[in-house]
Structure 1
Amino acid sequence: MAAPSHGVIATFDTASDIYEAAKKVRDAGFKFWDCITPCPVHGLDGAMGVRRSKVPRFSLIGGILGFTTGMSLIFFTGAVDYQLIVGGKPLFSPMFAFPVSYELTILLTAFFTIGGMFILNGLPMHYHPVLKAPHIHQGLDDKFLIVIESRDPKYDAAATKSLLESIGGKDITEIEA
């Protein structure tokens, strides 16, 4: 009995080849696929149809929470919990609360950004089936790879292989799950 398939992987030689191939895979309607490149390829996200990340939303929430926590902490300690008038200064002033609020804004923004990235990327992922591909190491050195996953609604092993072949893919192999 054959092992279940994770998808199909194909190799491309140049950055321009994978850029054009990514546009064709996107136009074919695939949703669950990715490009593996040894270096950044300018414009590849656009060619793949990747939308803007949601991580900045996590960062904004962390920043707002940090700022309000800092202001609330100083307000509570100065105006509610321990009312002490020193040198005629008010019990609460945003000017004096700013350093604490600023630091908490930076701290919680960083924590929420990292947490959001982990959540959205499904990390930690200690293993991925693509690592079983026989030529995956080339995608980290000098080749460019496209992986189309079998969970994609448009996935059909034979049709997907022929699509990758028609757009210039080489060493097309099926990956075990």
Structure 2
Amino acid sequence: MSEAPPAGVIAEFATAEAMVAALRAAKAAGWREMDAYAPYPVPEAAELLGAHGAPVGWIAIGMGLFGATLAYATQWWLSVHGYPINVGGRPLHALPAFLPATTIVAILWASAGTLLALLVMNRLPRLHHPVFAAPGFGRASEDRFFLCLFAADQRFEATGAARFLQGLKPLRVAEVPG
């Protein structure tokens, strides 16, 4: 039985500064398919990796406005055209009566749209990622910093990537099982 090719090579660092320096070196060496893992946010690492803000706020606003428009239009059409009933001289188009339901439906649509957008943008649910199997990776949520060079990169070759990462003076370098 043949062994599966590695999904990447990962290096473990003791400090955020060492990980950021390794990111700079990897970026300067031409690596593009890489990721960093840390127990707390490291803004400089995010900047080097090209991370940017997600449009979640705009999605929530858009979905909320869509839901409000849908709710209001439905109430208006039903009250004015679909089933007009004159109760006590009330106008058929009664704005104050339509607002509570419109607000509630807007919040519902904004919430549901935000949840779905976050799931799609984060590619969730994903119950397993190859780096979870890397030796010592559990400490990424405690006190260690990791830089992973993925096999999807055009320049990836396992021994060359490991040699490159060893040159950055990490605590440990290991292959990420594929």
TM range (shorter): 0.7 to 0.9
Aligned partner letter, 1:7: G
Shift of 1:21: 2.5
Shift of 1:54: 4.0
**1:121 matched to which residue of 2?**
122
CA change 1:21–1:96 in 2 (3 A) is: farther
Aligned partner letter, 1:119: V
What pairs with 1:84-103 in structure 2 (closer than 5 Å)? 84-103=85-104
What is the SS of the residue equivalent to 2:155?
A: coil
Aligned partner letter, 1:30: W
Unaligned residue ranges in structure 2 (runs of 5+): none
Aligned partner letter, 1:135: G
Aligned partner letter, 1:115: L
- Contact kept? 1:26, 1:49, Cα under 8 Å: no
- Contact kept? 1:23, 1:48, Cα under 8 Å: no
What TM-score do the two structures reach when normalised by structure 2? 0.85
Distance 2:55 2:153 in 1: 22
What TM-score do the two structures reach when normalised by structure 1? 0.85
Shift of 1:140: 1.9
Distance 1:104 1:133 in 2: 45
**2:147 matched to which residue of 1?**
146
Aligned partner letter, 1:167: L
Which region of structure 1 is more displaced relative to structure 2, 152-161 or 113-122?
152-161
Shift of 1:126: 1.8
Aligned partner letter, 1:153: Q
| Percent pairwise identity | 25
The number of equivalent residue pairs is 177
Aligned partner letter, 1:72: A
Distance 1:150 1:141 in 2: 26
CA change 1:17–1:58 in 2 (3 A) is: same
**1:58 matched to which residue of 2?**
59
Shift of 1:135: 0.9
What is the SS of the residue equivalent to 2:7?
A: strand
CA change 1:136–1:93 in 2 (3 A) is: same
Unaligned residue ranges in structure 1 (runs of 5+): none
**2:18 matched to which residue of 1?**
17
